[in-house]
């Protein structure tokens, strides 16, 4: 019996050492990547790092078990500009209900921006980087978001390429628009790198530039509303790809991604969040869009075509999605 007990303890010790070594490898790889990324930040944080613009009545993480992270995709074309947040999403880890959620905020939403005139919500990032973008979203939607990740479209391209591409079902009506954007991105590439165009519709693996072009399609379908669906589709495909990666190759993949992003999430928390996300049993990503149907009007203000929302109604509906158990409808 004593020998059996010693044997079991020995096996447990080996497992613990292996887990510890794996976690150390992740932290070490990410730390090295962060050092490489220094000096090429995609968005400069201005002022107090604790100034997230959180309303007093916003739900607290400790009480809800819900962690929200702001994802910002910018249209910047060089490192010396903020650009506008072409894609604005909230990634949600709902620990209470064991769910992953992804919400899009349409970029032409017309809202109050702290310290500025009312404007399109994507202008907040251009005016004040991730801090003002976070303040704007927290104050308009009564949220408690303190974490962000920013990437521009060339950075997103590199990330998707590092993952080996993503699987997307391209519709026939999207092909020409997709290829037009690929050509535009090819012309913008200062390193003269080019991507082949997409030759046909159907389920296929898109490389980084093709996937970015797909997520930027706007002039087919239901305009920006359908574009946000494409953006969520690409992010969901990226998550599905991450799930299939050999766990022992994950640290190197994460390390290769970090230099193309800007975030205020510490290394140790990246590891913790990643572990929590991969540990969620329900692997479906529930999706939502702000503003909801029939809760806004299309108007032209100061020469801008914008969506003027019923903020109170959209705030209520967004909170229902973020903080209550989501129901799968597909």
pLDDT confidence of 26, banded at 50, 70, 90? low
If one compares 243 and 72, the residue with the highest pLDDT of the two is 72
Q: Is residue 178 part of a domain?
A: yes
Q: Check whether residue 138 and residue 176 sit in a common domain.
A: no
Q: What is the mean pLDDT of residues 159-186?
A: 95
DSSP assignment string, 36-53? HHTT--SS---S-TT---
Q: Is residue 227 part of a domain?
A: no
Q: Check whether residue 119 and residue 246 sit in a common domain.
A: yes
Minimal CA–CA distance to 258: which of 162, 130, 164, 147? 162
Q: Is residue 219 part of a domain?
A: no
Structure confidence by residue, pLDDT tens digits, 84-104: 788 999 999 999 999 999 999
If one compares 25 and 294, the residue with the highest pLDDT of the two is 294
pTM recorded for the entire structure: 0.84
pLDDT confidence of 83, banded at 50, 70, 90? low
Q: Is residue 94 part of a domain?
A: yes
Q: Check whether residue 44 and residue 11 sit in a common domain.
A: yes
pLDDT confidence of 13, banded at 50, 70, 90? very low
Whether residue 2 has pLDDT greater than 80 = no
CB atoms within 10 A of CB 203: 8
pLDDT of residue 253: 80
Q: Which segment, 31-35, 122-126, 186-190, 262-266, is predicted with the most confidence on average?
A: 122-126
| Contacts of residue 38, Cβ cutoff 8 Å, sequence gap at least 6 | none
Q: Check whether residue 194 and residue 277 sit in a common domain.
A: no
pLDDT of residue 287: 95
Structure confidence by residue, pLDDT tens digits, 235-246: 999 988 887 777
Q: Is residue 330 part of a domain?
A: no
Q: Check whether residue 149 and residue 175 sit in a common domain.
A: no
Enclosing domain of residue 99: 5-158+232-323
Q: Is residue 41 part of a domain?
A: yes
Task: Work out the percent of the chain whose per-residue pLDDT is above 90.
Answer: 58
Task: Please give the tally of structural domains in the chain.
Answer: 2
Q: What is the mean pLDDT of residues 231-256?
A: 83
**What is the SS3 assignment for 118?**
coil
Q: Check whether residue 47 and residue 182 sit in a common domain.
A: no
Q: What is the CA radius of gyration of the chain?
A: 21
Measured CA to CA in angstroms, residue 313 lies from 40, 78, 296, 321 at distances of: 39, 38, 10, 13
Q: Is residue 224 part of a domain?
A: no
pLDDT confidence of 50, banded at 50, 70, 90? low
If one compares 50 and 46, the residue with the highest pLDDT of the two is 50
Element (H, E) at 309: strand 304-309
pLDDT confidence of 277, banded at 50, 70, 90? confident
Q: How far apart are CA 49 and CA 321, in angstroms?
A: 28
């Amino acid at each position: 019996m004593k020998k059996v007990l010693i044997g079991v303890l020995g096996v447990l010790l080996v497992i613990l050492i292996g887990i510890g070594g794996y976690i150390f490898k992740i932290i070490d790889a990410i730390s090295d990547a962060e050092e490489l990324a220094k000096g090429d930040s995609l968005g400069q944080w201005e002022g107090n790092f604790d100034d997230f613009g959180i309303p007093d009545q916003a739900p607290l993480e400790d009480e809800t078990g819900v962690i929200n992270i702001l994802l910002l995709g910018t249209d910047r074309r060089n490192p010396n500009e903020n650009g506008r947040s072409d894609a604005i999403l909230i990634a949600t880890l709902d620990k209470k209900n064991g769910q992953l959620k992804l919400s899009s905020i349409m970029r032409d939403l017309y809202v109050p921006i702290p310290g500025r005139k009312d404007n399109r919500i994507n202008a907040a990032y251009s005016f004040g980087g991730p801090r003002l973008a976070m303040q704007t979203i927290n104050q308009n939607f009564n949220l408690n978001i303190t974490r962000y990740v920013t990437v521009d479209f060339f950075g997103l391209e590199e990330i998707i390429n590092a993952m080996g591409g993503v699987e997307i079902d391209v519709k026939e009506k999207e092909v020409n628009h997709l290829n037009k954007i690929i050509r535009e991105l090819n012309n913008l590439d200062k390193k003269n790198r080019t991507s082949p165009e997409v030759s046909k519709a159907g389920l296929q693996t898109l490389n980084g530039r093709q996937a970015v072009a797909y997520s930027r399609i706007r002039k087919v379908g239901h305009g920006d509303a359908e574009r946000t669906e494409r953006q969520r589709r690409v992010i969901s495909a990226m998550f599905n790809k991450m799930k299939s990666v050999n766990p022992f190759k994950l640290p190197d993949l994460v390390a290769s991604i970090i230099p193309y992003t800007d975030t205020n999430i510490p290394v140790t928390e990246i590891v913790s969040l990643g572990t929590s996300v991969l540990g969620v049993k329900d692997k479906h990503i529930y999706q939502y869009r702000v503003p909801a149907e029939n809760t806004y009007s299309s108007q032209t203000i100061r020469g801008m075509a914008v969506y003027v929302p019923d903020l109170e109604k959209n705030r209520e509906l967004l909170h229902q999605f973020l903080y209550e158990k989501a129901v799968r409808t597909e």
